[in-house]
């Protein structure tokens, strides 16, 4: 997205640049946590496959 900054530090949609940065960083953190959760779920599935005697790829 492209925002035109005005002289008082706000962007055209009315949000300040600081809140825009906070929103972007919060979205980034949420995506990072979702990736970690998916990774743990994959590892748990691999562990149960190993416990059941099935072969799995690391």
55 lies in a domain?
yes
Indicate whether 1 belongs to any domain: no
**3-class SS of residue 41:** helix
5 in any annotated domain? no
Q: Which domain holds residue 22?
A: 10-58
Domain presence at residue 3:
no
Does the residue 35 lie in any domain?
yes
Span 5-57, pLDDT tens digits: 555 555 555 568 888 888 899 999 999 999 999 999 999 888 887 776 655 55
What values do phi and psi take at 10, rounded to 5? -105, 160
pTM: 0.47
Three-state secondary structure string covering 16-27: EHHHHHHHHHHH
Q: What's the number of domains the chain is made of?
A: 1
In a domain, 4, yes or no: no
- In this prediction, residue 1 carries a pLDDT of 43
The pLDDT of residue 31: 93
């Amino acid at each position: 997205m492209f925002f035109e900054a005005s002289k008082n530090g706000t962007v055209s949609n009315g949000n300040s640049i600081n809140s825009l940065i906070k929103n972007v960083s919060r979205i980034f953190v949420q995506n990072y946590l979702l990736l970690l959760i998916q990774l743990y779920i994959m590892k748990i599935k691999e562990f149960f496959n190993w416990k059941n005697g099935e072969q799995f790829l690391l």
